[in-house]
Amino acid sequence: MNTKQLKLADLAKLAGVSTSTVSRALNDNPLIKKETRDKLKLLAKQHNFSLNTAASRLRSQKTNVVAVIINFDSGTEQSINDPFLLKVVGEINLALNKQGLELLLSNSFMAGDDWANYFINSRRADGIIVVGQGKDPANIEAAANAGVPLVVWGDPKTPSNYPIVGSDNFVGGRLATEHLLAGGAKNIVFLGDPGHAEIGERYRGYLAALNTANAIAHVVSIDITSSAAYHGINQLLVAKGLCFDGIMACSDMVALGAMKALKERYISIPNDVALVGFDDIAMADVSHPSLSSIKQNTQRASVLLVEKLLAQLQGQSAESQVVEIELINRQSSKG
């Protein structure tokens, strides 16, 4: 910062060429002779030159920025502390970077309700990735209807006019439940709130599995937090005793909360109660007993999200897509 900031024109003067040439060279435009391009790039590097993105964005009407909105339900404690959502953000960051895109991190608070306006009209970003459907799709739909390039991490089976990428939650729920049934469980509790899109699908998968086995459903509807799970299971035990021998939890954090409640009462896992979670977060492997879980392929999903956003940016359309899901069998269930 000691010397005055160099601009394109200065660099052009130094090289004895026009600004057009420098601009094109730095953007690797084949109109410019390869040799010249390399020379100018080198010069830029030597002089520590960097294009002014503000000017560039203004002129080119492109930002190369993608807004990522963590769309947690207000009124729920999920949010910022949910390791799974944050992991997804991290993966998206990597996927975007690989495409030379930058990530503007945002949340419903900052962006307000009119996302099209806040992000796109204002040229803050070229497109939007929404992490989590939330309970109310109004904001997403409004943005999509306004023609904003937009993709969503969520339940791909939700009917929508925007692409949703996510796991096959129905199959996930079914797999988990079938696994518990196969281990001999007869009374399996579903722990989670079926009102939430993704969790709803998991719930339906759970019901489907129970149905073919002629078992009876039992839902404990709670917030998607470990402490809610802990208290939920505790209350159930107090009220009705050990009336179940399996738990299908809607997330690993929830499963771990339940696990804690069980362990405190010396209920054996998996002998008295078998347990399967969802997400396969790092902790699933670390807990004791380790937690069986449905693994979501967040890395692949992130790549897909970015691909589909890119397609929209190029004027093509993109469809919702399901990513494969996998049961990771660990100690908390009888495999």
Give me the residues that bind DNA (CB under 7 A), please.
5, 7-9, 16-21, 23-24, 26-27, 30-33, 36, 51-52, 55-56, 58-61
Q: Which is nearer to its own copies, 31 or 80 (CB)?
A: 80
78 interacts with its own copies by CB under 8 A: no
Enumerate the H helices of the chain as residue ranges.
8-15, 19-26, 34-46, 53-60, 83-98, 108-111, 115, 138-145, 169-182, 197-212, 226-240, 252-264, 282-286, 298-313
- Percent helix, strand, coil in the chain, to 5, is 45, 15, 40
DSSP classification of residue 156: T
CA within 13 Å, CB half, 115: 31
Given DNA, its own copies, none, residue 242, with its beta carbon under 5 to 8 Å by kind, binds none
Helices 226-240 and 252-264: crossing angle, nearest 10°? 40
Q: Which is nearer to its own copies, 299 or 329 (CB)?
A: 299
42 interacts with its own copies by CB under 8 A: no
Query: Could you say which of 116, 180, 207, 304 contacts its own copies (CB under 8 A)?
Result: 116
Q: Which is nearer to its own copies, 168 or 280 (CB)?
A: 280
Q: Which is nearer to DNA, 8 or 128 (CB)?
A: 8
Given DNA, its own copies, none, residue 36, with its beta carbon under 5 to 8 Å by kind, binds DNA
Q: Which residues 205-234 are close enough to bind its own copies by CB under 8 A?
A: 226-227, 230
Give dist(CA 177, CA 247) in Å, integer. 9
Q: Which is nearer to its own copies, 14 or 213 (CB)?
A: 14
109 interacts with its own copies by CB under 8 A: yes
Min. distance of Cβ 186 from its own copies in angstroms?
25
Tell me the Ramachandran region of residue 263: left when phi exceeds 0, alpha when psi lies from -120 to 50, beta otherwise.
alpha
